[in-house]
Amino acid sequence: MKVVPKVSSPVYLIVALVAVSITVAGCSSSAKNEVYFGSTTPPARNIFRYVTGDEPQSLDPQIPTGQPEGRIIMALFDGLAEYDPKTTQPIPAIAESWEANNDSSEFVFHLRQNARWSNGDPITANDFVYTFRRGVSPELASQNASLADYIKYAEAYTKHRVFVQDTANGQFQLAKDFAGGPSTAALSQTPLKFPDEEYKSGVTATDTAFHHLMHSPERLTLPKDETARNKTLAKDPRLQAAVTGKTFVDVKPEDIGVEAVDDYTLRVTLSQSAPYFLTLMPHWFFRLAPRKIIEKYGDQWT
C-alpha cells in the first residue's frame, strides 16, 4: 500500500501567495501608463494597427469582392462620395457636389480643387476617367465590373464586344433598328430618348462633342469572338444580312460614358435611367486607382 505524505496547510498558503504574486507582477508590468501597452514591440511612430481578420485578397480597389478587403480599401482610398456613417447614403468626398438630369441617366460631379494624392499631386477628373475605364477593362477582369454596367458602353467594353460600321459612309448600325429580334434583345443596352429639356434642367457642365456622341442613338454591339458572333447572327437572318460586308470595330475604353469636362468636372452618362447609380459611388470599386504607380509597378503596385 502506497503512503501519500500529508501536506500541512501553511505550505498550501505559501504556494497560493507565490501564484498571486506572479499574476500581479505580470499584470503590472504590461499595464503601464503609456500610449502603447501591448506585449509586442511598439511601432516607431504613432501608428494605428488594424486587425482585419482574414488575409486580404488584394488592396487594389477594383479587384476584391469581400468585406475584409473593402474595409481596408475604404480607409486607404477616396472616391467621389463616401458613406454617411448613420444613413449609409452617399455624402461628398472628393466630389463636393453633384447633380443629375431629370431621369437620372446622367450625373455631373464637381470635384474639390484642394484634393491631393499622397505625393501632393492634384486629383483631377481625368484620374476618375482612368479609374472607371480601368475598372471595366477586360484585361483587369474585375468581378465587380458589373457595378458599372449602366454606364454607356461599359458592359460592351468589358465583354469584348464590337460595333458594326459601314466603311462606305462611316455610319454605325444602331441597336434600335434591330430591337426585338430573336438574337438582339440581349445584345445591346436599351437606347434612351434624350429630349433637349432633360439636359437643360439641373445639369451645369459644358456641352462637348463627346457629350453629343453619348446622346446619339445607341450603337448595335455584337460579340467580338467570331464563333460567338456567327452563332448569334445565325439566329437572325435580317441582322446577318445587315452586317454582311460591314467592318467590326472594337468597343474601346474611350467609348464608355465617362468624360472629364474639365479638370474638376466629371460627367457620367448611363445607357438608361438608374436613380440608384449615385448610391454606388462610395463603393470601393469606384475609388481612385493611382495611375502613375500602376503604370510603374504593374500588377505588383499594391
Query: What are the tens digits of pLDDT across the range 27-67?
Result: 444 455 666 566 777 777 888 777 777 788 899 999 999 98
Instruction: Inform me whether the pLDDT recorded for 112 exceeds 70.
Output: yes
Indicate whether 193 pLDDT > 60.
no
Strands (E), 135-274: 161-166, 171-172, 221-223, 247-250, 258-262, 265-269
Alpha helices per DSSP H over the chain: 9-30, 67-76, 125-135, 154-158, 197-200, 209-214, 226-234, 237-243, 291-297
Q: What is the per-residue pLDDT across 242-288, written as a single tens digit (0 to 9) for each? A: 999 999 999 999 999 999 999 999 999 999 999 999 999 999 999 99
> Is 41 a domain residue?
no
Q: How many domains does the chain have?
A: 1
pLDDT at 126 (0 to 100): 98
The answer to whether position 117 is within a domain reads yes
Q: What does the pLDDT average to over 168-197?
A: 65
**Assigned domain for 44 exists:** no
pLDDT over 70 percentage in the chain: 79
With 0-12 / 13-18 / 19 or more C-beta atoms within 10 angstroms meaning exposed / middle / buried, residue 270 is buried
Q: What is the pLDDT of residue 34?
A: 64
Can you give the pLDDT at residue 9?
A: 57
* Cα 34 to Cα 28: distance, rounded to the nearest angstrom: 12
Residue 180 has pLDDT above 70, yes or no: no
Can you give the pLDDT at residue 277?
97
Could you give the percent of the chain with pLDDT greater than 90? 69
Q: How far apart are CA 280 and CA 41, in angstroms?
A: 41
pLDDT of the residue at 186: 41
pLDDT surpasses 70 at 18: no
Structural domain includes residue 243: yes
Residue 183's pLDDT is what?
Answer: 46
Check residue 261 and give its pLDDT.
97
User: Is 113 among the domain residues?
Assistant: yes
* pLDDT at residue 279, rounded to an integer: 97
Whether residue 61 is contained in a domain is answered as no
pTM > 0.85: yes or no = no
In the numeric block, the cell 480597389 is attached to: 61
Burial pattern 173-195, b for ≥16 Cβ within 10 A else e, equals bbbeebeeeebbeebbbebbebe
| Spatial separation of the C-alpha atoms in residues 91 and 114, rounded to whole Å | 17
pLDDT tens, 92-108?
999 999 999 999 999 99
Transcribe 59-85 into DSSP letters. S-TTS--SHHHHHHHHHH---SEEE-T
pLDDT (tens digit per residue) in 119-174: 999 999 999 999 999 999 999 999 999 999 999 999 999 999 999 999 999 999 99
Q: Report which of 134, 151, 141 is spatially closest to residue 289, judged by C-alpha positions.
A: 134
Q: State the pLDDT at residue 161.
A: 98
Residue 265 to residue 209: CA distance in whole angstroms: 16
Task: Tell me which residue has cell 514591440.
Answer: 41
Q: What pLDDT, on a 0 to 100 scale, did the predictor assign at position 257?
A: 98
Stronger pLDDT, 26 or 123, i.e. the higher one: 123
Q: How wide is the angle at C-alpha 60 spanned by C-alphas 119 and 272, nearest 5°?
A: 105
pLDDT of 55: 82
pLDDT for position 28? 47
Q: Name the amino acid, one letter, at 63.
A: I
Q: What is the mean pLDDT of the chain?
A: 85
Structural domain contains residue 36 = no
Coil, strand, or helix at residue 266?
strand
Q: Is residue 34 part of a domain?
A: no
What's the domain range around 246?
Answer: 99-274+288-300
CATH of the domain at 255: 3.90.76.10
Cell of 30: 504590461
Q: Is 194 within 8 Å of 106 (Cβ atoms)?
A: no
